[in-house]
Structure 1
Amino acid sequence: MTHPFFLTVAYAGGGFHGWQIQTSLRSGQGELWKALCAFDPEAPMPQGTGRTDAGVHARAQGVLIHTVRAWEPYRLLAALNAHLPKDIRVMQARPAPEGFFPRQHAVAKRYIYRLGLGPAEDPLMAPFRWHLHQAAPLDLAAMAEAVPPLLGTHDFTSFRNSECAAQTPVRTLHAIQLTPGDGCVDLIFEGSSFLMHQVRIMTGTLVEVGKGRRSPESMGAVLAAKDRSRAGLTAPPWGLCMEKVWYEARWGMSDPSPWGERD
C-alpha cells in the first residue's frame, strides 16, 4: 500500500532541461524523484501536470507522488526540500484522493510571459524576463488589438512547434491580458491546454506587432493559414512561467476553473 500526495512545485527553469526526466540531462522531475528516493527508495516516479520546455520556469507545477509510509504533509514537504537543490522547491504538500491524476484532471492553465522594456536590462530580473532592446516604445495598444482573433477554440497549427507530438492542434484559449509594470509588461495566457511552444510563438508574434513589423489585423490571417511560417519568432524560454493550474472541482485540488471544466 502506498500513500498519494499532491505537491505544488516551483523551480527556476534556467538550470533544468525541462520538467520531464532525461537520461543524462538535469530535469525537474528527475531532481524531485532523486530527493524522494533519498528517504523512500521504493517510491515510484513523480507525475507532473505538464511538461515545461528547457529554461521555462514554474510556480505551480502540480505533482502526484506515492510514498511507502504515511507522512504528515508538512514533514513530507520539509523532508523533500532538505534533499532538493535551491532552484527547485516543494511549496505545498497535501494528501491526494485515490484516482486523482494531475495531468488527466487539469482543465485550465495560466502561463505568464514576462517582457523587460526600457533602455537597459535589469540584471536582477534578467533570468526571468525577455528584455527587448528597442529605440521606440512597444505599442501595447496594437498588441491588445491583435489578441481577439486568438481567443476561443481554434486550430493553432500556426503557433505550434514542428516537433509537437500532440494528437490535435485544436486548443481553447480563454484569455490573453497585457499587464504593464515598471519597465516591463506581462502577457498572461489562460487556456484549457497548450501546444509545444504555443505561448512562446504567440508572444513572439505579438511582440512583432508591438514593434510595428506586422499589423494587428494580420493575426486572424496568421491563425487561419495553419502554417508555422506565417507566425513570428519563438520567444526565448526564460521569460515564460507556468503560474497556475485548475483541476476538476470534484477532486478539491484547486479552486474551480472560471471557464468550466471541459471544452
Structure 2
Amino acid sequence: MSHPYFLRMAYDGTAFHGWQIQPVARTVQGEVWRALRVLDPGAPMPQGTGRTDAGVHARAQGVLIHASRSWERYRLLAALNAHLPPEVRVMDVRESPEGFYPRQHAVAKRYTYRINEGPAVDPFERDLRWHVFGVEPLDRQAMAEAASHLLGEHDFSSFRHHDCVAATPVRHIYSVDLETRGSLLDIVFEGNRFLMHQVRIMAGTLVDVGKGRMAPESIPAVLEARDRRRAGQTAPPHGLCMEKVWYQSQWGIGEPYS
C-alpha cells in the first residue's frame, strides 16, 4: 500500500543544476530521491511543483512522495532532513489526498526576483541577489509603468527561452510589485503559470527599462511581436526564488488563492 505525503521544501539552489533530475549533474530532485530511498528503498521518484532552473532558489517547492508505510509527520520531516544536504530542507510534511499532483493542481505561483544596487557587490548577498552596477538608481517609476503592461493574459512568446516546450505561450500575470528597501529591490511576480525563463526575462526587461535602455511604453509592442529578440536581457538565476504556491482548494493543501 502506498502512503502519499506532501512536502513543502526550501533550498539554496546555488550548487544545483536545477530541480529536475539529470543523469550526471547534481539536482535537488535527485538529492530528495536519494534521501527518500535511504528510508524506503523502493520509493518512486518524488514529484515537484515547478522545475526551477540551475542556480534558482525556493522557499515553497511543493513535493509529492510515496512511502511504503505510514509515518508520523514530524518523524518523516526529521528523517528526510537527516539525509539531505544542508542546502535543502523539508519545512513541512502532511498527508496528501489520493489523486493530488502538485504540478497539475497548482493554480498560482509567486516568484521574487531580488536585486542589489550600488558600486560594489555585497558579499553577504552575492548568491541571493543580482548586483546591478550603476551610479544612478534604477528608475522605479518607469519600471512600475512597464510592469503594468505585463498584467493580464498574454502570449508571452517574447519572454520565454527558445528551448521552452510549453504547449502554449499564453499565461496570466496577476500582479507585479516593486518593493524597495534602500539599495535592495524585490520584484514580486504572481501568475497562474510561468514559461521557461519567463520571470528572469521579465525581470531583466524591467531592469533595462530602469536603466533607460527601453521605454516603458514599448512593452505592449514587445508582447505583440512574439519575438524573444524584442524583450530585454535574461536576469541571472541566483536572484530568483520560488516563494509560494497555491493549489486547487478542493485538495486542502494550503490556503486558497485570492
Q: CA deviation at 1:119?
A: 2.2
Provide the residue aligned with 2:100 in structure 1.
100
Cα offset for 1:198? 0.3
Distance in 1 between the 2:227 and 2:4 partners?
Answer: 43
Contact 2:48 2:103 in 1 (8 A): yes
> Offset at 1:69?
1.1
Alignment partner, residue 120 of structure 1: 120
- Runs (4+) of structure 1 moved beyond 6 Å? none
Q: 1:148 offset after TM fit, Å?
A: 1.6
Amino acid at match of 1:35: A
SS across alignment from 1:222:
helix
Return the offset for 1:147: 1.3
Counterpart Cα distance in 1 of 2:67 and 2:126: 38
1:147, 1:47 → 2: CA distance?
32
The sequence identity of aligned pairs, in percent, is 64
Stretch deviating more after TM superposition (118-127 or 38-47): 118-127
In the alignment, which residue of structure 1 is the partner of 2:43?
A: 43
Q: CA deviation at 1:141?
A: 0.7
The separation in 2 between residues aligned to 1:147 and 1:68, in whole angstroms, is 47
In structure 2, distance between residues paired with 1:92 and 1:254: 11
Query: Is 2:248 the counterpart of 1:248?
Result: yes
Distance 2:55 2:188 in 1: 18
Partner of 1:199: 199
Counterpart of 1:68, as a letter, is: S
- The whole-number CA distance in structure 2 between the counterparts of 1:183 and 1:140 is 12
Q: State the distance in 2 between where 1:148 and 1:81 align.
A: 41
2:158 is matched with which residue? 158
Match of 1:10 in 2: 10
- 1:261 is matched with none
Write the distance in 2 (CA, Å) between the matches of 1:186 and 1:250.
32
The Cα shift of 1:153 comes to: 0.5
Residue matched to 1:218: 218
Conserved? CA contact 2:143–2:209, under 8 Å: yes
1:137, distance to aligned residue in structure 2 (A): 1.2
Letter in 2 for 1:39: L
Letter in 1 for 2:68: V
Residues paired across the two proteins, number: 258
Give the TM-score of the pair, scaled to structure 1: 0.97
Q: Within 1, Cα distance between the matches of 2:247 and 2:200?
A: 23
Partner of 1:239: 239
Amino acid in structure 1 at the alignment position of 2:105? H
SS at match of 1:127: coil
**Residue 74 of structure 1, CA deviation:** 0.3
Residue 152 of structure 1 deviates from its aligned partner by 0.4
SS at match of 1:147: helix
The aligned counterpart of 2:72 is: 72
Please report how far the alpha carbon of residue 182 of structure 1 lies from its aligned counterpart in structure 2 after TM superposition.
Answer: 3.0
Q: Which residue of 2 aligns with 1:20?
A: 20
State the superposition RMSD in angstroms. Answer: 0.6
Amino acid at match of 1:64: L
What are the equivalent positions in structure 2 for 1:170-189 lying under 5 Å apart? 170-189=170-189
Q: Deviations over 1:192-218 (max 9, x none)?
A: 000000000011110010001111111
Distance 2:119 2:161 in 1: 31
**SS of the residue 2:149 aligns to:** helix
Structure 1: stretches of 5+ with no match in the other structure:
259-263
Take 1:92 and 1:83, find their aligned partners in 2: how far apart are those partners?
Answer: 16
Mapped partners of 1:111, 1:197: distance in 2: 12
The C-alpha deviation readout for 1:105-151, integer Å capped at 9, x for no partner, is 00000000000112222111110000001021110011001112111
Kindly provide the CA deviation profile for residues 10-53 of structure 1, in whole angstroms up to 9, marking residues without a partner as x.
11011110000010000010000000001110111100001000
SS of 2:257's partner is: coil
SS in 1 for 2:75: helix
TM-score, length basis structure 2: 0.99
* 8 Å Cα contact 2:118/2:135 also seen in 1: no
Name structure 2 gaps, 5 residues minimum. none
What's the offset of the Cα at 1:184? 0.6
Distance 1:145 1:198 in 2: 19
